[in-house]
Amino acid sequence: MGDREADLLLVERVQAGDQAAFGLLVAKYQRKLLRLVMRLVRDPAEAEDITQEAFIKAYRALPNFRGESAFYTWLYRIGVNTAKNWLLAQGRRMPTFSELEDGEEEGSELTGEQRHDEETPERLLLSKEIGETVHAAMEALPEELRTAITLREIEGLSYEEIAQVMDCPIGTVRSRIFRAREAIAARLRPLLDSAPNRRW
């Protein structure tokens, strides 16, 4: 049984009055949803409150959940909307893709020697310039493009799932991600074309 089917069984149990089943869904998705919300609001205390509020909203809306999308996609949508509403109430904006990436060094498992080879002063300077360029490119993107590319590149959602989270057609999602990537690539191209010994 896959994740989606297992979640659906838990949802059906909640809909039948089993509150403990919702506790299992919270336990399964709390860290993932908190991580997503943290990337959007960047305030640990607020992120926890928003995540809790998203789960409360999900619990209240669960009687109407029909399983047309995966539970976690539906939950992400509630989480994104709750975070977006909080940011609007605070008069703040959604963070950019490069800001979301800060501190995300998972998966970089170079040995000390490999890291030394990679981290020449020129490479470090180029990496810093690339980071600043991506940051500037993301700053210029509308919120919808930033959200779409964050869900795709950081959360790893499929185009179909992003369409459900953002409540728009899949063609719109593809267009937003394409436009975001094009905008970033256009800003990076001059930098990468002039990079010495580039190995991209």
pLDDT in tens, the chain (200 residues): 788 888 999 999 999 988 888 989 998 999 989 988 887 887 888 999 999 999 999 999 999 998 888 898 899 999 999 998 898 888 765 555 444 544 444 433 444 444 444 456 666 676 667 777 777 777 678 878 888 887 887 677 889 889 988 889 999 999 998 898 888 888 877 766 655 444 43
- Residue 62 is classified by DSSP as G
Distance CA 145, CA 95 (A): 11
CATH code, domain with 22: 1.10.1740.10
Structural domain total, the chain? 2
pLDDT, residue 180, reads 87
113 and 196 in a single domain? The answer is yes
Q: Supply φ then ψ for residue 46, to 5 degrees.
A: -65, -40
Amino acid at 128: K
Read off the tokens for 69. 């999308």
Read off the tokens for 180. 């975001």
Which of 140, 133, 136, 141 shows the shortest CA–CA distance to 192?
133
190 and 151 in a single domain? The answer is yes
Are 188 and 130 in contact by the 8 Å Cβ rule? The answer is: yes
Distance CA 98, CA 132 (A): 8
C-alpha to C-alpha distances, 100 to 36, 80, 93, 115, 155, nearest whole angstrom: 9, 14, 13, 23, 11
Q: Is 194 helix (H, G, I), strand (E, B) or coil?
A: coil
115 and 45 in a single domain? The answer is no
pLDDT, residue 12, reads 92
pLDDT, residue 127, reads 66
Read off the tokens for 19. 């509150």
pLDDT, residue 183, reads 84
141: in domain? yes
Residue indicated by tokens 């989270």: 165
Distance CA 126, CA 195 (A): 8
87 and 112 in a single domain? The answer is no
